[in-house]
Chains A and B, each alone.
Chain A
Amino acid sequence: MPSDEESMLAAGQGDLNAFEGIVLRYQKTAWQIAYRFLGDAAEAEDVAQDAFLKLLAAAPRYRPSASFRTFFYRIVSRLCIDRTRKMKPVYLDKVPDMPDSRPHASDRMASAERTAAIRRAMDALPSNQRMAIVLRHYEDFDYRSIAKTMGITEKAVERLLARGREHMRQNLANLPENTPREGDFPC
């Protein structure tokens, strides 16, 4: 299988099969970053599709000096941040009004409330902090990768994470936890 960089160079020469390989390999990550960041499936799909089309448009100019992953995630990240400037926040407050009599209904309701609370906490973050949290906590990027993706320094990443986490901590303070107990951590 060709590497991402080779596929990208081939796509730059008009090879749409090579481009399709990239789409298949990266669709999940692109979609998840966009969904985690935007909190809306339709918006996320739109942004993720646009990211791939921007990638295709940039393919003729692509030089494999930079990591393909960084190159692509930077496109996704910028499109997500741009999109937040154009959209209103969407909250997932779709907890059923009527009691659900099916088995584990209360579990599902608690889970929906939890998801909605996390979403609200994410939406309350400034876009840069939110993107840093998404890349670190959901995509498991290290500081270096986050810095390259967002076009900032590692120190700035650390600051964004610190502020973002502090906001999240305050907003999720009352969230019923499945959280680890004190003894679960090595300190």
Chain B
Amino acid sequence: MKCSDFNKAINRSADGEMTETAHAAMQKHAGECPACRRRLQEIHRLSAILATDRAPDVPPGFAAAVMKRARTIAEPQRVGTISFLPAWWHAMTHPARIAAAAMFAVSMGLGALMGWDAGRTRTSPLGAVKPDLVAQYSLDYFEEAPAGSLAQVYLALAE
């Protein structure tokens, strides 16, 4: 084995990610080559250093804190599921929900646009030709009628 081949495979060898045959060949080369042996030892040295580095224990109450947050999040979802959204909605995949919501939004938008357009064409001509009912029915005749009389009510309606 060449040193270059050894160096390419040195990490796999140190990590036990090799077949026994390949590992044996690596060991043989390391036994014969001091420089390669030193490189392999450096990896083992690092493993030994890190093995002495202990992590603190999980903080007390960690699981309880997670569950508290989990319940806070889960409860409103459950209420929403029962109260507002049908079961088929929850059975849908996420992309399907997005597609359905987009189709709904587009439908609502189109409907609103069509309704607004239809309303505009219906109301504007009427506004333009609003008749003068007072003149048409000669209601100015009632203008001198006493306040509160039925004639005054006709006038008020016509105006």
- A residues with a Cβ closer than 8 A to B are 14, 16, 19-20, 23-24, 27-28, 31-32, 35-36, 41, 45, 48-49, 52-53, 56-57, 60-61, 114-115, 118, 133, 136-138, 142-143, 158, 161-162, 165, 168-169, 172, 175, 177-180, 182, 184-187
Contact = CB atoms under 8 A, between A and B. Distances in A.
Interface in B36-53: 37, 40-53
Given A41-B59, A56-B73, A23 B49 contact: no
A180 B49 CA distance: 9
Q: Give the secondary structure class of A's interface.
A: helix
Contacts of B12: 143, 158
Contacts of B47: 137
A118 B17 contact: no
Given A161-B11, A187-B26, A49 B56 contact: no
Given A45-B59, A158-B12, A20 B49 contact: no
A52 B66 contact: yes
Nearest to B28: A187
A35 B56 CA distance: 8
Contact of A14 (B11, B53, B74): B74
A31 B45 contact: no
10 contacts: A20-B67, A28-B58, A31-B55, A41-B59, A52-B70, A53-B73, A138-B55, A143-B17, A178-B52, A180-B45
A104 to B, nearest CB: 16
Nearest to A45: B59
Which residue, of B17, B46, B56, has the highest number of chain A Cβ atoms within 10 A? B46
Interface string B7-23: 00011100101000000
Contacts of A184: 44
Contacts of A138: 50, 55
A142 B78 contact: no
Contacts of B90: 60
B59 A56 contact: no
Given A14-B78, A20-B67, A31-B62, A115 B15 contact: no
B15 A136 contact: yes
Contact of A169 (B10, B46, B65): B46
Contacts of A57: 73
B30 A187 contact: yes
B27 interface: yes
Contact of A49 (B17, B43, B52, B66): B66
B49 A56 contact: no
Given A158-B12, A182-B41, A27 B52 contact: no
Contact of B71 (A16, A31, A36, A172): A16
Contacts of B37: 182, 187
B99 interface: no
Given A41-B56, A185-B40, 20 more contacts: A23-B70, A27-B66, A31-B55, A35-B55, A36-B55, A45-B59, A49-B62, A53-B73, A61-B94, A118-B49, A143-B15, A158-B12, A161-B15, A162-B11, A168-B46, A172-B49, A175-B49, A177-B45, A179-B49, A187-B31
Nearest to A178: B52
Given A114-B53, A165-B43, A177 B58 contact: no
